[in-house]
């Protein structure tokens, strides 16, 4: 009996060890899959990652080649191409709740903004998607974390600092004959995401993407791209009105000409 008990215990230890080995050797792939899954749910567009590298000993990780596709109806393939993302995790908090991420830095990302032929903005549409993915409306992360705390099962996370730095905005306005612009976006910083109780990964993704998109759209408005489009609309309306006036003048001219011919013909009949 004793030998059998030891054999069972030994088997359990081997299985647990094998499970932990699988977990830690496949942790990069697990995180990559989670980013793509939750990111796609939040944005309602495909989210892809090229590579994830995690160093548990240092509490550091690196995410490379993360892209967020534009919504349907736009020619530009991506809304965001985030290049290299560095993450610093507070190791002491890994066994606690919430897990604390000290810092996330997105270095030299590219943002793509398009106004299509229907004069819809790609980032505005993406923001609508993000807000629609929040069932109870655009609550703040802290409010969401209070609700998610009741779930109990899903890990909660707190991000002390998030930085979106040295970003480039590539804009394309289809109604202006595909006119293109390249602009620099000032650094965007966010602190204490998730609040004291933390928030779920999905909630944090919603919060970060929503705030990023709003601030980038604000930069676009400041740079006057929307104003230029409005100017284009005004010019187009003026051309339509001018064409209408020209056609009306030609029509009136034709009517006067026909009247004159009819009058001359009538005079000729009277003289007979």
What is the model's pTM? 0.71
Q: Is residue 39 part of a domain?
A: yes
Positive or negative CA dihedral for 147, 149, 154, 155? positive
Is 20 in the same domain as 107?
yes
Is 127 in the same domain as 23?
yes
Is 73 in the same domain as 201?
yes
Q: Is residue 41 part of a domain?
A: yes
Domain containing 251 equals 225-256
- pLDDT value for 133: 81
Is 80 in the same domain as 203?
yes
Is 241 in the same domain as 108?
no
CA distance 71 to 259: 58
Is 164 in the same domain as 233?
no
Parts of the chain with a pLDDT under 70 = 1-25, 134-153, 224-245, 247-249, 251-272
Grouping H, G, I as helix, E, B as strand and the rest as coil, residue 73 is: coil
**Pairing state of beta strands 51-55 and 60-64?**
antiparallel
Is 29 in the same domain as 128?
yes
Counting the structural domains of the chain, the total is 2
Is 249 in the same domain as 137?
no
Q: Is residue 135 part of a domain?
A: yes
- pLDDT value for 102: 93
Q: Is residue 112 part of a domain?
A: yes
Give the residue carrying structure tokens 């802290």. 142
Q: Is residue 134 part of a domain?
A: yes
- pLDDT value for 138: 38
- pLDDT value for 27: 76
Is 134 in the same domain as 241?
no
Is 108 in the same domain as 232?
no
- pLDDT value for 3: 52
- pLDDT value for 139: 40
- pLDDT value for 59: 84
Is 64 in the same domain as 187?
yes
Q: Is residue 178 part of a domain?
A: yes
Q: Is residue 20 part of a domain?
A: yes
**Pairing state of beta strands 67-69 and 78-81?**
antiparallel
Q: Which residues pair with 113 in a beta bridge?
A: 171
Q: Is residue 214 part of a domain?
A: yes
Q: Which helix (H) or strand (E) holds 34?
A: helix 27-43
Count the Cβ atoms, other than its own, within 10 Å of residue 261: 10
Q: Which residues pair with 199 in a beta bridge?
A: 157
Is 112 in the same domain as 9?
yes
- pLDDT value for 56: 79
């Amino acid at each position: 009996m004793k030998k059998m008990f030891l054999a069972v215990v030994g088997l359990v230890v081997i299985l647990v060890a094998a499970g932990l080995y699988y977990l830690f050797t496949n942790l990069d792939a697990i995180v990559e899959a989670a980013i793509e899954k939750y990111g796609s749910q939040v944005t309602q567009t495909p989210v892809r990652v090229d590579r994830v590298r995690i160093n548990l000993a240092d509490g550091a990780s690196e995410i490379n080649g993360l892209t967020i596709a534009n919504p349907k109806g736009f020619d530009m393939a991506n809304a965001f191409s985030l290049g290299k993302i560095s993450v610093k995790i507070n190791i002491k908090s890994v066994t606690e709740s919430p897990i604390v991420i000290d810092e996330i830095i997105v270095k030299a990302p590219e943002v793509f903004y398009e106004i299509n032929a229907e004069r819809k903005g790609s980032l505005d549409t993406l923001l609508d998607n993000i807000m629609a993915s929040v069932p109870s409306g655009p609550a703040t992360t802290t409010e969401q974390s209070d609700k998610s705390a009741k779930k109990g099962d899903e890990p909660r996370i707190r991000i002390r600092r998030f930085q979106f730095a040295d970003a480039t905005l590539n804009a394309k306005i289809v109604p202006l004959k595909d006119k293109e612009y390249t602009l620099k976006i000032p650094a965007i910083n966010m602190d204490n995401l998730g609040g004291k109780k933390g928030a779920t990964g999905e909630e944090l993704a919603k919060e970060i993407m929503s705030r990023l998109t709003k601030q980038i759209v604000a930069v676009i408005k400041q740079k006057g791209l929307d104003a230029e489009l409005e100017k284009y609309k005004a010019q187009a309306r003026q051309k339509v009105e001018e064409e209408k006036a020209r056609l009306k003048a030609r029509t009136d001219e034709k009517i006067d000409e026909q009247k004159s011919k009819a009058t001359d013909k009538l005079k000729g009949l009277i003289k007979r």
